[in-house]
Amino acid sequence: MHPAPSVILFTTLSGLGFGLLFWLGLGFPPVKGWAAFGYFTLAYLLSVGGLLASVFHLGRPERALRAFTQWRSSWLSREGVCSVAALLTMAIYGAGLVFLGQNWTILGVIGAGLSLATVFTTGMIYAQLKTVPRWNTWVTPVLFLAFSISGGSLLAGQGTVTLILLLVTAGILLFWWQIGDGAMGASGSNLGTATGLGSIGRVTQFEAPHTGRNYLLNEFAFEVGRKQAAKLRVIALVAGFAVPTVCLLLPVSVFGLGIAAVAHFIGVAASRWLFFAEAEHVTAIYYGKAGAV
């Protein structure tokens, strides 16, 4: 799949943002007043920033509001609804903390729940797609949640908890890669099934329908080199997990936390780039690509 910067940015930022909101909603760190203001600003910058980025991904951003109507059937719509609900709830909760010094725990817990729900729906948007075998697994939303919670806890400065969460997340990521690499093969789709001609013999593409490019090729026929992918996987692991872990093991310092956060962000972004770049769409089979033969 074409790794569109807008989508990578969106999922990365909003993941961290809602992760942070989740922790704040549960009252970690227990902040009030200006401190709270700082944390909430960061959380909103990330989550809202992410949402905005995703709007730029639309062909017709001016109609974005329509996306709230189909929550009954569409995960994308549900994501919209959840995100807004989460942001509103947490806004009230946050206002309580910042301006009134009040901690409306229930509200916070609900907000935290909605934040996770948002991240879950994001994961489901991809996980639901049978057409992209690498994504089409229950592990995908779990991975999104893990990234979000661990990243959030890093930003929320949850010391040892963060360490454990980072470890777990890294594990899930490795596992997800593991099953992902075999997914296209396991999907059973190839030129034979795509054309129904497999029973006659080995099917290969002779000529693409047009010598010119088209939307489908731009979206679905993105191919990434094995070497490049391997390199990025290492970067994702080192930057996203190793570096933060080290920083966290060193004596606590704002500077250290800063590095940890930035490194983690880079790592997640790298893994997100791979998330799209490595994902093969069955439509590409018709163009002699992906699991064609």
Partner 1 sequence: MTTLPKSTEKQLGLVIDLDTCVGCHACVVSCKGWNTENYGAPLADLDAYGADPVGTFLNRVHSYEVEPETGPAQLIHFPKSCLHCEDAPCVTVCPTGASYKRVEDGIVLVNEDQCIGCGLCAWACPYGARELDGAEKVMKKCTLCVDRIYNENLPEEDRVPACVRTCPAGARHFGDLSDPSSDVSQLVRERDGMDLMPEQGTKPANKYLPPRPKDKISVESGQGEIPQLTPVAEEAKGFVGWLDRMLDKI
Partner 2 sequence: MTSISPTINLSPKVSDEVRKTTCYMCACRCGINVHMKDGEVAYIEGNRDHPVNKGVLCAKGSAGIMQHNAPSRLRAPLKRVGPRGSGQFEEISWDEALDIAAGWLAPLRETDPSKLAFFTGRDQSQSFTSFWAQNFGTPNYAAHGGFCSVNMAAAGIYTMGGAFWEFGQPDWDRTKLFMLFGVAEDHDSNPIKMGIGRLKAQGGRIIGVNPIRTGYNAVADEWVGITPGTDGLFILALVHELLKAGKIDLEYLAQFTNAPVLVNSDPASPEHGLFLRNDAGQPLVMDRSTGEPAPFDQPGVRPDMAAVWEKDGVVHRPVMHLLAERYLSAEYGPDAVAGRCGVAADRIRDIAAELARVAFDEAFELPIAWTDFRGTRHTSMKGRPVSFHAMRGISAHSNGFQTCRSLHLLQILLGTVEVPGGFRFKPPYPKPVSAHPKPHYGVQAGKPLDGPHLGFVRGPEDLALKEDGTPARIDKAFTWENPMSSHGLMHMVISNAHAGDPYKIDTLFMYMANMSWNSTMNTSGVMNMLTDKDEHGAYVIPHIIYSDAYSSEMVAYADLILPDTTYLERHDCISLLDRPICEADAAADAIRWPVVEPDRDVRGFQTVLVQLANKMQLPGFTNADGSAKYEDYADYIVNHERKPGIGPLAGWRMNGNETSHGRGAPNLEQINRYIENGGFFVSHIPEDCAYMKPWNAGYQDWAVEMGLYDAPQPYIFDVYVETMRKFQLAAEGNGARQPPDHLRARIRETLDPLPIWYPPFEDSHVSEDNYPVHALTQRPMAMYHSWGTQNAWLRQIHGRNPLYVPTAIWQANGFAEGDWASVTSVHGSITVPVAHMAALNSNTVWTWNAIGKRKGAWALSEDATEATKGFLLNHLIHELLPPKGDGLRWANSDPVTGQAAWFDLRVRIEKARPQAEAQPAFDKLGSPVGVGPDTLTWKVKS
Residues of the shown chain interacting with partner 2 in the complex, contacts defined by CB under 8 A: 72, 204, 206, 209-212
Does position 58 interact with partner 1 (CB under 8 A)? The reply is yes
Question: Do the Cβ atoms of 136 and 183 come closer than 8 Å?
Answer: yes
Binding mask 26-55 for partner 1 (x = CB under 8 A): ------------------------------
What are residue 252's phi and psi, to 5 degrees? Answer: -60, 130
* Nearest residue to 147 via CA among 288, 264, 59: 264
- Piece of the chain touching partner 1 by CB under 8 A; list 30-38, 204-212, 227-235, 255-263: 204-212
Torsion of CA 23, 26, 27, 32, to 10 degrees: 90
The binding track of 211-240 with respect to partner 1, each residue x by CB under 8 A or -, is -xxxxx-xxx--------------------
Q: Please calculate the CA angle 142-228-286 and round it to the nearest 5 degrees.
A: 75
Query: Could you tell me how many residues of this chain bind partner 1 (CB under 8 A)?
Result: 60
Binding mask 130-149 for partner 1 (x = CB under 8 A): xxx-----------------
Q: How many CB atoms lie within 10 A of CB 250?
A: 12
Q: Does 187 bind partner 1 (CB under 8 A)?
A: yes
Residue 61 to residue 46: CA distance in whole angstroms: 20
Of 77, 80, 93, the closest CA to residue 48 belongs to 80
In order of 273, 279, 283, the CA distances from 182 in angstroms are 19, 11, 18
Instruction: Please identify, using beta-carbon distances, which residue of 62 and 207 lies nearer to partner 2.
Output: 207
Phi, psi of 270 (to 5 degrees): -60, -45
Scanning residues 265 to 284, which ones bind partner 1 (CB under 8 A)? 281-283
Contact between 293 and 284 under an 8 Å Cβ cutoff? The reply is no
Pick the closest to residue 17 from 121, 70, 98, 87 (CA basis): 87
Q: What does 64 bind: partner 1, partner 2, none (CB cut-off 5 to 8 Å by kind)?
A: partner 1
C-beta of 64 vs 179, nearer to partner 1 = 64
Binding mask 94-133 for partner 1 (x = CB under 8 A): -------------------------------x--xxxxx-
Q: Which does 124 bind (CB under 5 to 8 A by kind): partner 2, partner 1, none?
A: none
Cα 93–Cα 98–Cα 99 angle in degrees, nearest 5: 100
**Cβ 102 to partner 1 shortest distance, Å:** 36
Instruction: Please calculate the CA angle 284-285-286 and round it to the nearest 5 degrees.
Output: 90
State the binding partner of 201 from partner 2, partner 1, none, CB within 5 to 8 A by kind: partner 1
**Which range, of 39-47, 59-67, 172-180, 260-268, touches partner 1 by CB under 8 A?**
59-67
Which residues contact partner 1 by CB under 8 A? 1, 57-61, 63-64, 66-70, 72-77, 80, 125, 128-132, 187-189, 191, 193-197, 199-210, 212-216, 218-220, 281-283, 286-287
